[in-house]
A = this chain, B = another copy of it.
Amino acid sequence: MTEIACPLCQPKNENVLWRDAMLRIIRVDDLDYPGFCRVILNRHVKEMTDLSPDERARLMQAVFVVEDALRAVMHPAKVNLAALGNQVPHLHWHVIPRFADDAHFPDPVWAPARRAGQAHRVDDARLVQFIARHLTAD
């Protein structure tokens, strides 16, 4: 995939909670998972092992700050972390707060839904505040 055709290189309508020179953190506003966040590398890179160890560490630090923010604000039963990128091979981490009454629990959110799940809402301002307090800008 060329950078020109990549939707993460040419983002549209992202709800950005944090942005710096290396990465951005967005809330996806998924219908079933309002707390679903993504940590997206700004550069078009495919795999974690294409990054330097320092870059990997910084990207993971951001992922873990988002996990911490979601735990602090939403108190999920579990947090799911995933870097897949089969459709869009541009590094992005899914950070998904999971609840026992959500649409797929305890299955992954990519499995068939088990029920019309409860969508747990979250306040952007609280996430933004937590992230800004715990993540140092690049």
Chain A residues with CB under 8 Å of chain B are 46-49, 56-57, 60, 64, 67-68, 71, 77-87, 89, 98, 105-108, 110-112
Among B77, B98, B110, contact of A107 (Cβ-Cβ < 8 Å): B110
The oligomer's copy count stands at 2
Among B82, B85, B105, contact of A78 (Cβ-Cβ < 8 Å): B85
The answer to whether A83 and B85 touch (CB under 8 A), given A48-B64, A60-B56, A60-B60, is no
Q: In whole angstroms, how far apart are the Cα atoms of A48 and B85 in the complex? A: 21
- B49, A71: Cβ atoms under 8 Å? yes
- B71, A80: Cβ atoms under 8 Å? no
Q: In whole angstroms, how far apart are the Cα atoms of A57 and B84 in the complex? A: 20
